[in-house]
Amino acid sequence: MGNYTVFDAFTGISPFEKLGVIKFLEQHIGVSKAKIQMAVEYAIKDCPSFGGLILVVTQAEEPVAVAIIHKAGANGHQAKHTLAYYAISEKFQTEEFVSDFFDKLINLSNGDLAMHLDANDPVLGVFQKMGFQQHRVEYRFNGSNKLRLAV
């Protein structure tokens, strides 16, 4: 199912590999290069952070799946690891591959992994089968909305 490589603060990541991770995620998830680069730098501790890891799956020396996991600084009330970004090439988006990929991520995070998903994420059912459960509902304030309270 491909070659798995883990990058973290101890192993480091070459500029070429870093660019490959950023480019792959930018192409597959529609997040800006700057945000992905910040996530990569956090994971490998190129900036002040708790660190994390990057998992890259390659086949024929080309990435087919990438995940960035961040370590959280607070223990107890939240997961110790949070999946910042992930992407899987379309032809590898099978239940078997996704399950194997996330098994690796779960093992690398010692079974303490959280992720934020859109309610309509197409692989939500796979995550639920793997044992992920909804824990919290997040609401974000949109600064363009005016605060109106009915009292």
Note the pTM of the prediction, 2 decimals: 0.83
Domain coordinates in residue numbering, the chain = 3-130
The answer to whether residues 49 and 42 touch, using CB atoms and an 8 Å cutoff, is: yes
Contacts of 79 (CB under 8 A, 6+ apart): 72, 109, 112, 113, 114
CATH class of the domain comprising 3-130: alpha beta
Q: What six digits make up the tokens of 137? A: 């509902």
CA distances from 114 to 29, 33, 98 (A): 18, 23, 16
Q: Tell me the pairing of strands 3-7 and 52-59.
A: antiparallel
In whole angstroms, what is the distance from residue 29 CA to residue 53 CA? 19
Most confident of 36-40, 93-97, 115-119: 36-40
Q: In which region does residue 115 sit, left (phi positive, over 0), alpha (psi from -120 to 50) or beta (all else)?
A: beta
pLDDT tens, residue by residue, 21-80: 999 999 999 899 999 999 999 999 999 899 999 999 999 989 999 999 999 876 666 788
